[in-house]
Structures are given as structure tokens and as C-alpha cells.
A and B are shown apart, each in its own frame.
Chain A
């Protein structure tokens, strides 16, 4: 069973993503959070296999939270789930150690696949941003 921490400040999104993830037999959402600080706390408490993280959030954004989680919970892998597709965000996501980046519009299609892929040790990026992400991964 892959344990997941779901982080998004938007209630309907959390609910929809939760429903999507729970459809999978091998995924369990163990905790949810609505900002970066809450996310780091929950990651410390639950040590999930995967954190699915929004970027734009109050108090602490998802990129900074990812950096903290990578430091305190080394086994937790982070997938950023965002509407931003600008190269700067992809670059920053790679720099802070995110293993995947899924665009919100493609979440229905990509997210489950992304979680399974990074659980296997791979990276996963939505098709639209894949080439940009590969460029930054190669530089890392």
C-alpha cells in the first residue's frame, strides 16, 4: 500500500483528488494539509511514501515545503500538483528535489501513474512540461 499525504489549500480540489486516489486499491491517503507548514508537520508525523503537493498556498508554498520534507523525511517522495507550467517553476521543482510534477488539468489522467512511477524510483512529469523538466534534471 502506498501511503499519501495530500496538500492543497483548495477544499474542492482536495476532495476530488482524494476521491481519485482512493479509487486505486494500492493507494491510501493517510493525511491532508492545506498549507506548507501543516504539510511539513503531517509529513513528520505520518512519514508517507508520497506527498502530493500544490505550489501556490498560504503561509508556506509547496516548493519550500518540499525542500523541508526532503530534509526531514528522506523517504517521502514529493509530486507537485500545480496549474503553473512556466519553466521557472519546473526548474525550481527539480532543484528542491521533487520527483514528479503533474499539471492540474492533467491530474485525472496522470496522477495515479505519477504516484506509481515515483514509488518505483522513477521521475514523472506531465507531457506538456516533460521536455523542460528533462533539461533541468540533466543539469542537476
Chain B
């Protein structure tokens, strides 16, 4: 496409060129000229080689050029370079008569450098013999439409962001509430354990001492009459003390508070192996695990207890591998058994299945993750991870 910097002497002169034609136009022509010039839509006429030969006021406003400036410019001069090639192809097809008109959404580069979007409709004006004279370009400003679209999109994005933020807040609040619930539950358990220790446990110990002393002071005659009953009573007290200790250990694992998670897990394993015929191999952390904060530690211990109780109840396993490892800032605890697996993992992981839901919800309260894998061949593996900084801060 030729490009000329001055008015193109070879181009046909527009009949609607106000400067030269006004004086010779009849009233209809004048009205048509006024309509053309004052139309609230941009109209431009181009020569076949792409130079502007006439433009109306709206086209001038849109492009930011004076009419005189536009008449020394062509399509290429004010079209964004990324859109020019696609337009020139359509322009050539139009002149060749391959298409009757074309529509295009394109960017103009205004005189002040601003890039603006327009919808352009072009068609060819021919003489009575069908020879192409010039091209008419109707330009519809899309910026307002696009701006509205952008505004609507922004509004939608903002609404979506607000909704997401609200959702995040709700999630955070839920986790916080769950954490507080767990804290309250553990505090209540601790208080109950203290009561058991301070009142019932100590009273039983005192009773044991007193009966032992009485036993030592009985005369031979009394021993014959009361000895076996006294021995029974001492036996009952020993049983009650043992029961209280077990309940206390469950409510408030003393080793956890005083010596940390590994000691508490070992203590639980000792108790577990004395109760069930299941071997437990404890793979200790290769990297030292710092104290994780009470709630994280009790959460991991409770999950290990729950998982191991499930093994004893359902898995028909004879071995558990319990592993507690630290890799950089992640603590991973896995409980793997060699049992028959879970028949329906889908059913077991359903929210109504309390055991697995309990484990999942508990670990999520401290920002951790829960996974379970189960097959009849490999048994069941429960895996929980907790970020160290999270755990250590709570």
C-alpha cells in the first residue's frame, strides 16, 4: 500500500469534501454534508491505496488529529502495528472484489500516543460501471464499551476476591474454633486427670498404706480371722489404683508434657504392646524434633492412639511400623500395619466415619495434612504431616 505524506493528487476527490464542494451543493447535498460531518460516529473515506481523503469531526475527535493532519496520513500511520497486517489483507480483498465489506476490531494509535480500541466497518464505493472509487470506513468507539466491560470484570473480580477472602476468613475462623475446642477439651481432660490424681489416686495410695500398716499390726488371732479379707481389700485397692493410672494416662499423658512426643509415643507403645499381641517398631526421628507446642504434640499422639486402636480392632495385623521423622520444616508421622487393609476406603473416609474424620480434623486444626492408603496386600498406612513452624508456634 502506497503511503504519501501530502495530499494525494492521484486520489479521487470526495464529493463530500466540505471545503471545495459546499458552494456547489444543492440543499439535499448540504444536508447530507452536515449529517456526514456532524454524525456521532466516526466516518472516514480512504483512497484505494489507503490514504485518508475525507474524515468527519467524530473521526478527528477519536484519533486526536486535525482533519488536515489526517488527510496527509494513511491507515498505516494511525493503526496499531499488531493490527495493521490483518487489516491490509481485508482491504486488499475488498478492492479485489473478493468481499463486499469487512468488520474489524482494531486499535488506533491516537496523536497523543494513546492506544484505543474501535470496531470498524468498511465497504467500497464504486462508480456506475463497478469500478472501485474509494473505501468508506465507519468507526465505532469501543472504548466506552470496553471500559464498561473492564469495570464489570473488575467488579466481578473484586466480588469474587471478597467472596474468597470471606471464605478464607470463615475457614480460618473454623480452624481457630476447632483449635480452641481441642484446647478446651484437652484442658478439661487435664483437669479431670489432676482431680483423679489428687483426690482418688492419692486417697487410694493412703488407703493402701493404712491397710498395709494394719495388716502388719494384726495379732495372730486377728490375722486368721481378717487376714484374707484384708489381703482382698489390698488387692482391690491395687486394681483400683491401676485403673485410675490408666485412665489418667489416657486423659493426660504425663510423659508428653514432661518429656515430649517421642517419649509419649514410646510410653503408649509400651502400654499398647502389653495389651495387644501386636509388635510395634518405632522408627525414631533421624533429625532431632524440637518441642512442638502442647496442642500439636497431643494432636499427633491422639492420632497415633486412634490409628493404632483401629489396627487392633480391625486390621488383623501382627506388626505396626510407627515412624516419626523430620525433614527440614516438616514433621511426618506414619503408622503402617501389615493387616488386611480397609475393605472400603471410600466408606471409611466418609465424614460419618468418626475415626478417620477425627484424625483428619484434628491434624487440620494445627495446619497439618492427613492421608490414608490401604490395600489388602500392603495393609493400611496413615500419614500425617505438620509444618514445624506452625507446630512450634502453638
Contact = CB atoms under 8 A, between A and B. Distances in A.
Interface of A: 9-10, 12-13, 15-17, 19-20, 23, 56, 83-84, 86-89, 92, 104-105, 107-109
Contact of B209 (A17, A83, A86, A92): A17
Nearest to A81: B205
Given A86-B254, A88-B258, A19 B213 contact: yes
Interface residues on B, range: 20 to 34
Contact of A107 (B201, B203, B209, B267): B209
B209 A88 contact: no
Nearest to B199: A10
A15 B254 contact: no
Contacts of A86: 254-255, 263, 267
B202 A13 contact: yes
B245 A83 contact: yes
B254 A108 contact: no
Given A23-B213, A88-B267, A83 B197 contact: yes
Given A23-B213, A105-B238, A15 B206 contact: yes
B347 interface: no
Given A20-B213, A86-B254, A88-B263, A105 B208 contact: yes
B198 interface: yes
Most buried by A among B198, B216, B241, B258: B258
Nearest to B242: A105
A17 B254 CA distance: 24
Given A19-B210, A88-B263, A109-B212, A13 B258 contact: no
Contact of B213 (A83, A87, A108): A108
9 nearest A-B pairs in the assembled complex, by CB-CB distance: A108-B212, A16-B209, A12-B206, A10-B202, A104-B205, A16-B206, A88-B259, A88-B263, A13-B206
Contacts of B266: 87
B206 A108 contact: no
7 contacts: A10-B205, A12-B202, A16-B210, A20-B212, A20-B213, A83-B245, A107-B208
B203 A12 contact: yes
